[in-house]
Amino acid sequence: MRGSATGTGRAAGHRHNRRRTAGTVASAALLLPLLGAAPPDGRASANGLRQAFASAAAKYDVPQSVLLGVSYLQSRWDAHGGAPSVTGGYGPMHLTDARTALTGAPHHSEGTEDARGDRARPPLLPAKKPPNASEFPARLRTLSKAAELTGLSDERLRTDPAANVAGGAALLAAAQKDLGEPLSKDPAEWYGAVARFSGADDRTTAAAYADDVYDVLRTGKERTTDAGQWIALAAQPDLAPDTAQLARTGLRALAPGDTECPKTVSCEWIPAPYKDLGEGDYGNHDVGGRPASQGIDHIVIHDTEGAWEGVLKMAQDPAFVSWNYSLRSTDGHVAQHVRAKDVAWHSGNWYVNAKSIGLEHEGFLASPDAWYTEAMYRSSARLVKYLAEKYGIPLDRQHILGHDNVPGPTTAAVGGMHTDPGPYWDWRHYFTLLGRPFEATADEGGGLVTIRPEYAANRPEYTGCVTEGRPCAVHGSSAVRLRSGPGESYPLIKDIGLGTTPTTGVNDLSSRVSTGQQYAVAGRDGDWTAIWFLGQKAWFKNPKQSPTAVHATGRVVTPRAGLVSVPVYGRAYPEASAYPAGVPAQSVSPLPYKLLKGQKYVVGDKVPGEYYYAVDFDEASHEVVVGKDMYYEIQFGHRVAFVRAADVRAEPSRS
């Protein structure tokens, strides 16, 4: 999506090519000694927040470890300066007040990108429609309930972390009493209350949430919060909760469905319709035979720019676009809409669509403080690990793409491509959850760097989150800005494909790299490192005492001998001679970029040219065309790209 400068997007609806429109969118004793300990390594003390947890636990008779575990899963103990999450949740306990956060336009209604990304069909450009947010489920109204229980004002619960913790403790105690359970000092006796706290209305989702909280309690956690406060939770490896309490919560059983999800997440089947709309028109995805017919090589991470209920309505609209999975922020619940064998319309590039799985996360690009919950990050990581293992997808940043890393398929499409999940998605934390943390794999002679800033401390200026040209709220970021020389006085790197002057706009990817992406080193000058980027030498600040990137090694491509430059493509399509009769040959048109002599770019997969012909509702007409021309996927700019293997030489990066 392209983040709104006038508000966060929460609506649904679109215009199809036939102009159809659709609806919207440890016990306290065990924990006290550790919590009272002085923070190591000179980190800031956490007396305020630590005392808040201790006081709230004592006042409401909730085990302090349970309170800390629930808070970690919601916010990782961050307060976010009183700003709401993507679902209107506030403070360390993520008390929800969704009245604060539902306006705007949905993800696939922004910009000019056609989500299907195949010009063999008329473009599918959804139209905006006002949201319908007259009613909110109970999971989005927990702050008002906390106000009733504590006597504290809504405003104080939103802005005062200590009050917010008290509100969370009161909700847990109330849930425990409702279940007829004692206010026990034993954290094992609070499983049902924790499940209820999730806000889920079904047992499967509530159990997945509670299991995550108890995993946190068993393993322990420690970190410095966004307010500079150090919090630690001692591990209780032998803790075994009373999971039988779940049957007494009164939550509904989740309808069984044949979903493609790991058992470690809560997942339901809410199908996207494959429907003939008449007059040669159909939607909202294509039936395929993957992975037998063609491989699944990528997983694409999106944010929804819409609230959960509206997003589900969009996915069920036969005249809209589609994606494979949606993930809910409050509790990490997953809905699957399109089978992995089929092709969803989500990335704006038909080649990528045909070889990828799309995951939409409830969230908003242009709202830096509209934070994602730990519950959703964890659920997403478990789903991605499952899919990656099932389909043989490497867990790296050339295979786990953001929508903002998908290239425009043609020159005309470059400017309209989406920019989600944006600079505030925490790729470093996400890949740690995936079990693939970004680490140095070489010394300085490795020839590559892996971008890896410290998320919380990396705070580049962005503009346009609320008002065009005005600064966004200062916030941690996964992105690093690039300049044309080794210093802040040099101009930002320009993307010639956009033809515009680069800016610090939150949607402007011209001069940005992102955590986990790898690039070939082009030079060093003091605290600055240069990389090859979009055919240019681009510089970023990378001081040794606080590095923005770590050394790596791998394979790169460079123009083969005798070539001054080679064309760059946004898709790997077959040569014309590969198309059988009845399947129109698709143009192999280069993007407005060149890979120049002497430059090097990191290699992903080597793949044959491939095109999935599917422009009719009749599955019998669908065909996968595979050519003889081979391509390399490369990390060319912020987005990936492709070069013909015959045009380049692949070699080790180490100098």
Domains of the chain: total: 2
Upstream peptide bond of 164 is cis (omega within 30 degrees of 0): no
The single-letter DSSP state of residue 447 is: S
Q: What is the pLDDT of residue 124?
A: 63
Distance from C-alpha of 560 to C-alpha of 391, rounded to nearest angstrom: 33
Give the Cα separation of 574 and 64 in Å (integer).
Answer: 61
The reply to whether 367 falls in a domain is no
Q: Of 484, 522, 518, nearest to 600 (Cα)?
A: 522
Rounded mean pLDDT for each run of 10 residues along the chain, 655 residues in total? 40 31 33 35 59 97 98 94 85 87 51 69 56 65 95 95 97 97 97 96 93 97 92 97 95 86 94 92 94 97 88 91 95 96 97 98 81 90 98 98 97 94 95 98 96 95 90 92 98 95 95 98 98 98 96 98 98 97 94 97 97 94 96 98 98 89
The answer to whether residue 271 is domain-embedded is no
Q: In the listed set 212, 233, 248, which residue is the last one of a domain according to the structure?
A: 248
- pLDDT given for residue 218 in this prediction: 98
Query: Given this model, what pLDDT does residue 192 score?
Result: 97
Query: Do 398 and 635 form a contact (C-beta atoms < 8 A)?
Result: yes
| Per-residue pLDDT at 118 | 73
Strand-pair partners of 344? 285
- CATH code of the domain in which 193 resides: 1.10.530.10
**Rounded to whole angstroms, how far apart are CA atoms 629 and 192?**
58
The C-alpha angle 90, 424, 161, rounded to 5 degrees, equals 20
Q: State the Cα–Cα distance between residues 175 and 131, nearest whole angstrom.
A: 32
pLDDT the model gives residue 461: 95
Pick the last residue of a domain from 215, 248, 281.
248
What residues pair up with 449 in beta bridges, in sequence order? 519, 551
Q: For residue 62, give both structure tokens.
A: 């909730």
Q: What pLDDT score was predicted for residue 138? A: 84
pTM of the model: 0.87
How far is it, in rounded angstroms, from Cα 313 to Cα 507? 26
Does residue 541 form part of some domain? no
How many Å apart are CA 82 and CA 317, to the nearest integer?
A: 36
Residue 394 lies in a domain: no
Q: Domain range for residue 609? A: 557-652
Q: With contact defined as beta carbons under 8 Å apart, do 476 and 483 qualify? A: no
User: What values do phi and psi take at 191, rounded to 5?
Assistant: -60, -45
**Domain's final residue, options 218, 248, 278:** 248
Question: Does residue 606 sit within a domain?
Answer: yes
Q: Say what the pLDDT of residue 363 is.
A: 86
* SS3 at position 301: strand
- Could you check whether the bond before residue 421 is cis, i.e. omega within 30 degrees of 0? yes
Residue 575 lies in a domain: yes
- Are 554 and 448 in contact by the 8 Å Cβ rule? The answer is yes
Q: Which of 612, 8, 95, 71 is nearest to 310 (CA)?
A: 8
* CB 439 within 8 Å of CB 417: no
CA atoms within a 13 Å half-sphere pointing along the CA-CB vector of 621: 10
Q: Which amino acid is at 364?
A: F
Per-residue pLDDT at 123 = 65
Would residue 8 count as lying in a domain?
A: no
Is residue 154 situated within a structural domain?
yes
**Tokens 């800031």, located at residue:** 44
Closest to 350 in 3D by CA, of 321, 326, 325, 327: 321
DSSP 236-270: -TT----GGGGGGS-PBPPPP------TTS-EEE-
